[in-house]
Amino acid sequence: MARWRFVLVLLGVALAAPAQAVQPSEMLDDPALEERARDISTGLRCLVCQNQSIDDSNAPLARDLRILVRERLKAGDSNDEVLDYLVDRYGDFVLLRPRFAAYTLVLWLTPAVLLVIGGVVAMRRFRRKPAAAQALSREEEEKLSRILGD
């Protein structure tokens, strides 16, 4: 029974691991270049899947982009030159993490601004002092005395 449980756990771990779509035929012979290509491709969006990197996607366009990245690296381009080439060709949407620029300022600063506004609202709300307790009228005091049995 323990053996089957162990096999099921191993199977679950194997199936839960992210699927890498990079085919052996796409890989470069130079390990340093291949590592650079993998670093670049994990930061590039699959234009078909849109929520996956090209490194994880099985889409034909993602394969073409992986090959293009490797070709540019073999041609001697730096990582930034490869990214600039792809952004020029496909636009900023190809980047999974958009660059910090004037036109992306709202995208990057909105969460921080909302957090500050929320903090200010919360502080103002909790700083308010409760209204001062009003003294009981004579009638209310008598009624309370009767209820409490004094």
Which pLDDT tens digit goes with each residue over 35-85?
Answer: 888 889 989 998 888 788 888 888 889 889 989 999 999 898 899 999 999
Burial 69-99 (b: 16+ CB within 10 A, else e): bbebbeeebeeeebbeebbeeeeeebbeeee
Nearest-angstrom CA–CA distance, 60 and 24 = 15
pLDDT band at 17 (very low <50, low <70, confident <90, very high): very low
1 pLDDT more than 70: no
pTM over 0.85: no
CATH number for domain 18-97, candidates 3.90.79.10, 1.10.8.640, 2.40.30.10, 3.40.50.970: 1.10.8.640
